[in-house]
Amino acid sequence: MTIETRLRISPTWYRVPDVCVYEREPEEQVFQTAPWIVIEILSPEDRMSRMQRKIEDYHGIGCRNVWILDPWRRQAYEFDGTAIVEVSELATGDSRVNLGVAQLFPAAGEARL
């Protein structure tokens, strides 16, 4: 099952994030409320430079936890408000979520979340 969540960025611009997390689901059909967390997952043909505009849009509407996962390289990134930064763990500003990259991308044969 696929559920697409459309986020209104401006009156004429929308984004569909790979994953978005809300503390409470907004009432509107097309979400205008900023998510608590937005996650974009890179595919092999994605480029980080093309991702920059997307994450700036999410941050611009008020989402402060904007993360990018690269499963092919087993890397994680966050947007700090000005730049995309590689991180060893993803954590929300309020510390309710804290995930190490090793938890997200375990080595072959290791247990998953």
Model pTM score: 0.86
DSSP 112: P
One digit per residue, the tens of pLDDT, for the chain of length 113 reads 456 788 999 999 999 999 999 988 888 888 889 999 999 999 988 888 889 999 999 999 999 999 999 998 999 999 999 999 999 999 998 889 999 998 888 776 555 55
Tokens of 15: 């984004």
* Domain ranges, ordered by start, for the chain: 16-104
- In sign, the C-alpha dihedral spanning 39, 9, 34, 24 is negative
CATH homologous superfamily of 16-104 equals tt1808, chain A (3.90.1570.10)
- In sign, the C-alpha dihedral spanning 93, 99, 102, 105 is negative
